[in-house]
Amino acid sequence: MIRYSVTLPPRVLAGLRRETGAAAPAECCGALIGLVRGHDMEVRTLIPVPNEAHAAATYHIDAEVVLRLERQAASTSQQVIGFYHSHPATSAEPSATDLELAAPGYVYLIVDGRAGEIRCWRLRDDRSGFTELPISLLAGAA
Amino acid sequence: MSAFVQLPTALREYTAGAARIETDAPDVATALSQVTTRHPVLRRHLFTDSGELRGFVRVYLNDDDVRDLAERERTPVRPGDVILIVPSIAGGEHVASTFSRDEVSRYARHITLHEVGWDGQAKLRGARVAVVGAGGLGSPIGMYLSAAGVGTIGIIDFDVVDLSNLQRQVLYATGDVGRKKVEVAATRLRALNPNISVVSHDVRLTRENALEVLAEYDVVVDGTDNFPTRYLVNDACVLLGKPYVYGSILRFEGQVSVFAGGAGPCYRCLFREPPPPGLVPSCAEGGVLGVLPGIIGSLQALEAIKLILGRGDTLIGRLALFDALTFRWRELKLRRNPDCPVCGDQPTVTALIDYDEFCAPGENMDAPQPSHAIPQITAGELKQRLENGDDILLIDVREPFEWDIANLGEYGARLIPLDQVLERRDEIDRSTDVVIYCRSGSRSAGAIRQLRAHGYERLFNLRGGIRSWAQEIDPAMAMY
């Protein structure tokens, strides 16, 4: 089994909590941009995206925006590692909606809006559920 | 030269790292099918078992969303074309997971409706609605809002339940007579739906407290039956920018509309000034068919719910009129008046005013009496003067059926209904003190105004009408 790992610098962590608080009681969402070396992913930048949620979901980032983010990341030799969103009233585990609508390959960071807990997930290739990925924090100034 | 299918970096692990895959397919659908047949894990992610593209997958042909192209997925592919696969990212805390099992069962018939669904039910749960007046209109308004799962309902009323309320105020039972309406209403609404919170405001809404009380709510529903409160609620809603669901009833007729708190026409665009005091009787004076507030109040609840859901066409800009006797509905178009003193282009009313004075100039019973004001006499003072043997003529300006319920005939009172006062004024002696009364003091004030215009001077209004006599002097008197 492949072991993926995700590294977050403190400023990204602080940004995630700040965005979650500012959007509550709505969900916030955005992209995680950074570097990938083999199966190690290092998030460098958090890009908040306006939530365009519609009836089926409580956060939504349109493909047009994803395309722009992909091109933006590629222009700085980085890539879109994944996306984050908050769960204002439930835990940081993926919901049934998250599973139903999940895109493969990306990591999903979920912030528990109540406890502030942050967990990281990646869709399994049989789409049966998510595998949790360990998050390591990068030491250093925010 | 062939065409290519290009993948974002996150999907390249399913193509052994390849960013672009060559294809000689004639159209977009065939190209996707060809590429994913070569890479089965990618296929599982992009297509459902029945072969449909999954909801998150968006396909672009040379930067054009294929959904926007005439032939969509069947659009032909030419050499050098690039087919881009891009995911849209969605999900989130499913609203459903935040409802308890009991709530799901309770709201099942709502959730089934496409126009409500989980999101709509969550909006109702998050909504805060003020219900001004817990009477005939406030009863169905409160009950339907509570049943619908409106998360916070504020009930504003200062009255107690009276036996005469039970003919139409379905929130109350016979045993509730004498109890505070806000207390009984809150208990009843919580019993109907324990998932909501009911806030009791045991106050009379006034210019001093209205902005503070109503600011807490998203929608204001008016269930009151008097003009001062109606203008007060309207002006407060315009100043606060909150939608105001209006309803009124009298005898067999009802009205309902939605005033859009600054954005649409307001009550003052429709009625710039109140009618002269006494012209429009209250329900207590004019009567009301008990089921009518049930109909109009339910429609107010309906409009409040539509405002919360953001669904359907509300009554903003329309006034619906219902005649229960003939069963006819009429609808009037309302336009915002650019000269409206409250919501117009250059408003002159920018803070709440004295609405008692606005609706009945010179009759504010609590204010110091100016010289032109109508002299008042209290029930206690009247009783004292009658016992002293003072020469006082008592005139009752109510309707005969009201006289039959209770009257002051034993003190020589004479019945002259309001609409006969002028033609029968010769029956009223100008040389003696005359005390005029009605049920609560409003029609009698109107009668005094009319008589003064014909030179009568020694006229007194029985403050609070025969109701205050019943309360203070003769508790055995039948009251209504």
ipTM: 0.87
Q: Is any Cβ of chain A less than 8 angstroms from the Cβ of B438? A: no
Label residue B219 by pLDDT band (50, 70, 90). very high
Label residue B372 by pLDDT band (50, 70, 90). low
pLDDT at B111: 82
Average pLDDT score over residue span B182-207: 96
Q: 10 Å Cβ neighbour count for B346?
A: 8
Taking the C-alpha atoms of residue B11 and residue A70, their distance in angstroms, rounded to an integer, is 12
Amino acid at residue number B414 = R
Q: Is any Cβ of chain A less than 8 angstroms from the Cβ of B86? A: yes
Taking the C-alpha atoms of residue B322 and residue A124, their distance in angstroms, rounded to an integer, is 60
pLDDT at B466: 94
Q: How far is CA B448 from CA B148, B363, B438, in A?
A: 48, 12, 11
Give how far A135 is from chain B: nearest CA, Å.
Answer: 18
**Mapping DSSP to helix (H, G, I), strand (E, B) and coil, where does residue B469 land?**
helix
Label residue B361 by pLDDT band (50, 70, 90). low
Q: Is any Cβ of chain A less than 8 angstroms from the Cβ of B90? A: yes
* Residues paired with A54 in a beta bridge: none
Mean pLDDT of chain B: 90
Q: 10 Å Cβ neighbour count for B389?
A: 7
Q: Which of B82, B89, B98, B99 to mutate to test the interface with A (most CBs of A within 10 A)?
A: B89
Element (H, E) at B250: strand B244-250
Residue B371 CB contacts under 8 Å (≥ 6 apart), including other chains: none
**Mapping DSSP to helix (H, G, I), strand (E, B) and coil, where does residue A47 land?**
strand
pLDDT at A47: 94
Residue in chain B lying closest to A96 (CA): B94
Check B10 against A81: CB less than 8 A apart.
Answer: yes
**Angle formed at CA B121 by CA B117 and CA B124, multiple of 5 degrees:** 145
Partners of B58 on chain A (C-beta within 8 Å) are 63-64
The radius of gyration of chain B's CA atoms, rounded to the nearest angstrom, is 33
Average pLDDT score over residue span B251-273: 88
pTM of the predicted structure, to 2 decimals: 0.58
Can B283 be counted among the known catalytic residues? yes
Given CA atoms B410, B416, B421, B425 in this order, what sign does their dihedral have?
negative
Q: How far is CA B2 from CA B20, B25, B77, in A?
A: 11, 9, 9
CB A111 within 8 A of CB A86: yes
Average pLDDT score over residue span B213-229: 93
Give how far A139 is from chain B: nearest CA, Å.
Answer: 26
Distance linking the first and last C-alpha atoms of chain B: 94
Can A42 be counted among the known catalytic residues? no
Q: Is B473 exposed, middle or buried (0-12, 13-18, 19+ CB in 10 A)?
A: middle
Taking the C-alpha atoms of residue B364 and residue B362, their distance in angstroms, rounded to an integer, is 6
Element (H, E) at A137: strand A135-137
For the CA atoms of B285, B290, B296, B297, what is the dihedral angle to 10 degrees?
A: 100
Given CA atoms B109, B113, B115, B119 in this order, what sign does their dihedral have?
positive
Partners of B88 on chain A (C-beta within 8 Å) are 60-63, 66, 103
Q: Which of B11, B92, B126 sits opposite A59 (nearest CB)?
A: B92
